Structure 1
Amino acid sequence: MFVDQIKVYARAGKGGDGSMHFHRGKFRPKGGPDGGDGGRGGDVILKVDSSTNTLRQFFFNAKLIAQDGHKGGGNLCTGQSADNEIFKVPSGTVVSKIIEEEDPETGDIVTRYEPFADLTDVGQEFVLCKGGKGGKGNVHFKTSTHQAPREFTPGDEGEEGFFHFELRSIADAGFVGFPNAGKSTLLSKLSAARPKIANYPFTTLQPMVGVIHFGDHRRGTLADIPGLIKGAHQNIGLGHDFLRHIMRCRILLFVVDAAGTEGRDPVADLEIVRKEVSLYSKELSKRPWFILANKIDVEGAEENVERIKDRFKRVKIFPISAESEQGLDKLRAFLDKKIGQTFEVLK
C-alpha cells in the first residue's frame, strides 16, 4: 500500500520531576537537602532514510511518542534522560503543523496547515517535538536563611501537536499527461523501473521514479506521474493526490498520444493538461517543459505531430514511440544535457 500523506499525533517526553530529599547519614542525621534534578524528556525526531519511499509506516502507527525523563534522586543524583525516538521518513517529505482556529466572521472552526519542514537530504534529521527539561531538586532552593527547603519543581511538558506529512517525489524530470499516453512504457524503456503497464486508464496509481543512465558515470531521475484529467486542479479524478509530485521536478515532459488511439485530440489533450498544471501552480507552469509526441508508429500520428508543431511553435517536440523505441536515442541525448549529473562510483 502506497501512502503519500498522513495525519499524525506527536508528543515528546515530559522532563522528570526534581527530587525533594534530605541526606541522612550515620554521622550526619540532618545533612541538609540533596535532591537531584529530573532527567530530560526524549525528543521526537524525523530522519530522512533512503530505504523507504512511502509514509505507509505511519498509517499503522500514527502516534509518535517519546518517553518521559526519570525523576531526580537523593545524593544529588540527576534522573536519567529519556532516549530520543527517531522515525524514518522518505526523501521529499513536507511536514506541516495542523492548526485549528475560529473564523472571526463565521465562528466556525477552520483547519489550516503551517509548513515548517521540508526534508529532502538523506540522513537529514529534524526535531518534530522537543522533550521537556527536567525539574530542579530541592538542593537548588537552599539559602542561608532557608536551610531545609522542601521546594522542588516538576519537569516541563514535552512539545506535542498534530502534524500533516506529505510526500512529494523528487525527480529531475516528470512525465505528465492523460492516462494511457504511454508514460509508464516510456519510463520502463528509459530506466530500470518496472511500472505496471496495461491498456486501461489509471494503471499507474502511484508515482514511479526511475534512474536513467547516460554513460560515463552520468545519470538522472525520471518520475512517472499518474494520468491527469480535466479538472485535476480541483481534485477531480486523482487530482491533487498526484499533481504535487511534480512540484519538485526541474523540467516537465508532457507525453501525448499523437495517434489519438483513445479517440481524443492530442492538441486538445496538451492544452488541457497544460491548463491544469497552470491552475494548480503558477510557479510550476513556469518550469521548462517539452512535448513527447508518443505512438508515432501508429497510423495518423504524423499528421497530428504537424498539428502539434503548428500549435506549440516555441516548444521543443520529440516525436517518439515508447513501444518500438523510435526516437529514444535522441531523447536520451537531450535529457543528458538537461538533467545528467556525474555520480561517484563506489569501489
Structure 2
Amino acid sequence: MFYDEVKVSISAGKGGDGCFSFRRAKYEPKGGPDGGNGGRGGDVYIIGDHNKADLTDYYFKPIWKAANGEPGRGSNQHGAGGEDLEMRLPVGTILQDRETGEAIAEVVEDGQRICVMRGGEGGKGNTMFKSSTNQAPREFTLGKPGGGGDFKLVIKTIADVGLIGFPNAGKSTLLNMTTNAHPKTGAYPFTTMFPTVGVLEFPEQYERITLADIPGLIEGASENRGLGHRFLKHVERCKVLLVMIDMQGTDGREPIADIRVLMNELKLYKPGLVRKPILIAANKMDEPDAPENLKILQKKVKEPLFPISCVSDEGFPELKQALLEAVLEVRREEAALLESDEDDAD
C-alpha cells in the first residue's frame, strides 16, 4: 500500500522546570539560592529525503514528539536541552493544518531542513531571582510547553513532466523505456496505483529531467471518481504535461474523445492546469487503426503531437528532445520570475 496522505499529531518538547534549591554546607547553614534553570524543549524539523518513497512510517506511527528539556537541579546545574525531532519526508511533501487545510511548510529539495515547531523555554531556577533586596528568593518558574497540534502530511509529486492519460495508455511502458524507473505494467485498469518518478538523461547536453508516471485518469476524476483527486493533485507540481493517447481506440474509445475528456477533467479540477505546456504522445502507432486516427488528431488538436510506438521505438528521439526543450523553457521563465521578485524586494 502506498501512503501519500496521512494524519499525524506532532509536538515540540516542553521546557524543563526551574529548580528551587538553596546551598547547604556544613559551615554555611543559610547558603544562598542555587537552583538551576530548566533546559529548552526540543524543536521539530521536517527534512526532504529522496530515499523516502511514501509516508508509510507516519501512517503506522501517527504521534511524534520531540524530547522535553531536563529540569534544573541544585548547585546551579542547568537542565540539558531536549533532543530535536527530525521527520524525514519524501521530497514534495507538504505539512498542512488538519482543521483548516492551511499549508504550514513544504520540502521541495533533498536535504532541505525546515523548523516547523519550537520547543518550550526552560523554567528559571530561584538563583535567577536573587537581587540586592532579595537574597533568599523562593520564586522559580516552570518550563513552557512547546508548539504542537494535529496535521496532515501530503505528498504532491514534484517532477518536470507529468505523464497523464487513461488507464493503459502506455505511460508506464514509456517511463520504463526512457528512464531509470521501472513501474509495474499490465493490461488492466489502474496498473499504476501511485506516482513513479524516473530520470531522463541527456548526456550530450549535460541535462536531465524527471518524469512522473501518474495514476490513470478517468472521466469524473475532478469529482473524485476513480483515483480522482489523488491523481490530480500530483499534476499541479509538474512543469510540463505529456498526454498519452491510445491511438488504437481500445475499449471503443476514440483518441480525439480521450483528449477532450482529459483536458476537461484538468480544467474542472483547476483551470490553471490546462495553461501548462502540454504535449501529446500518440501511442501505439503500430496498431492497424492508428494511422487513420492520427490524421483526425492532426486536424483537430493544437498541441504539439508526437506519433510514437512503445513496441518499435518510433518517434522517441523527437519526443524526448521536445520534452527537454519544453522543460528548459519553463525553468528559464521560473528563474526570470524569481530574479524579478528579488529585484522588487531590494
TM normalised by structure 1 equals: 0.92
Partner of 1:294: 283
Which amino acid in structure 1 is aligned with residue 57 of structure 2?
Answer: Q
2:311 aligned with 1:323, yes or no? Answer: yes
Following superposition, the deviation at residue 280 of structure 1 comes to: 1.1
Following superposition, the deviation at residue 147 of structure 1 comes to: 2.2
Query: Are the counterparts in 1 of residues 104 and 116 from structure 2 also a CA contact under 8 Å?
Result: no
Which amino acid in structure 1 is aligned with residue 43 of structure 2?
Answer: D
1:335 to 320, 323, 342: 323
Q: Give per-residue Cα distances to partners, 1:180-211, cap 9 Å, x unaligned.
A: 11111111111121111111111111111111
Following superposition, the deviation at residue 146 of structure 1 comes to: 2.4
Partner of 2:243: 254
1:123 to 98, 108, 111: 111
Q: Give per-residue Cα distances to partners, 1:302-330, cap 9 Å, x unaligned.
A: 11111112221x21100111222111121
Query: Are the counterparts in 1 of residues 119 and 145 from structure 2 also a CA contact under 8 Å?
Result: yes
**Aligned partners of 1:285 and 1:36: how far apart in 2?**
62
1:208 to 193, 196, 205: 196
2:8 aligned with 1:8, yes or no? Answer: yes
Partner of 2:58: 58
Following superposition, the deviation at residue 340 of structure 1 comes to: 6.1
Which amino acid in structure 1 is aligned with residue 252 of structure 2?
Answer: G
1:306 to 292, 295, 305: 295
2:27 aligned with 1:21, yes or no? Answer: no
Following superposition, the deviation at residue 334 of structure 1 comes to: 1.7
The CA RMSD over aligned residues, in Å, is: 1.5
2:146 to 140, 154, 158: 158
2:183 aligned with 1:195, yes or no? Answer: yes
2:137 aligned with 1:149, yes or no? Answer: yes
Which amino acid in structure 1 is aligned with residue 117 of structure 2?
Answer: C
- Secondary structure of 1:262's aligned partner: helix
Partner of 2:271: 282
Query: Are the counterparts in 2 of residues 185 and 323 from structure 1 also a CA contact under 8 Å?
Result: no
Structure 2: stretches of 5+ with no match in the other structure: 330-346
Partner of 1:103: none
Q: Give per-residue Cα distances to partners, 1:12-52, cap 9 Å, x unaligned.
A: 11100001011112232212111111001111211111211
Query: Are the counterparts in 1 of residues 42 and 83 from structure 2 also a CA contact under 8 Å?
Result: yes
Count matched residues. 329
Following superposition, the deviation at residue 338 of structure 1 comes to: 2.6
- Secondary structure of 1:228's aligned partner: coil
Taking every aligned residue pair, what percent have the same amino acid on both sides?
A: 45
Following superposition, the deviation at residue 262 of structure 1 comes to: 2.2
Query: Are the counterparts in 2 of residues 44 and 64 from structure 1 also a CA contact under 8 Å?
Result: no
**Aligned partners of 1:336 and 1:243: how far apart in 2?**
23
**Aligned partners of 1:24 and 1:71: how far apart in 2?**
20
- Secondary structure of 1:187's aligned partner: helix
2:229 aligned with 1:240, yes or no? Answer: yes
**Aligned partners of 2:268 and 2:77: how far apart in 1?**
62
Following superposition, the deviation at residue 77 of structure 1 comes to: 1.3
Partner of 2:36: 36
Query: Are the counterparts in 2 of residues 13 and 65 from structure 1 also a CA contact under 8 Å?
Result: yes
1:70-81 alignment runs, 5 A limit: 70-81=70-81
**Aligned partners of 2:319 and 2:328: how far apart in 1?**
12
**Aligned partners of 2:308 and 2:234: how far apart in 1?**
24
1:263 to 223, 240, 252: 252
Following superposition, the deviation at residue 144 of structure 1 comes to: 2.9
Query: Are the counterparts in 2 of residues 45 and 87 from structure 1 also a CA contact under 8 Å?
Result: yes
Which amino acid in structure 2 is aligned with residue 165 of structure 1?
Answer: L
Which amino acid in structure 2 is aligned with residue 234 of structure 1?
Answer: E
Query: Are the counterparts in 1 of residues 17 and 123 from structure 2 also a CA contact under 8 Å?
Result: yes
**Aligned partners of 2:70 and 2:111: how far apart in 1?**
29
Structure 1: stretches of 5+ with no match in the other structure: 100-111, 342-347
- Secondary structure of 2:211's aligned partner: strand
Partner of 2:169: 181
Which amino acid in structure 1 is aligned with residue 185 of structure 2?
Answer: I
**Aligned partners of 2:145 and 2:321: how far apart in 1?**
57
TM normalised by structure 2 equals: 0.92
Partner of 1:106: none
Following superposition, the deviation at residue 145 of structure 1 comes to: 2.9
Query: Are the counterparts in 1 of residues 277 and 326 from structure 2 also a CA contact under 8 Å?
Result: no
Q: Give per-residue Cα distances to partners, 1:245-298, cap 9 Å, x unaligned.
A: 111111001111111022101111110110111111122221010111111111
**Aligned partners of 1:295 and 1:340: how far apart in 2?**
27
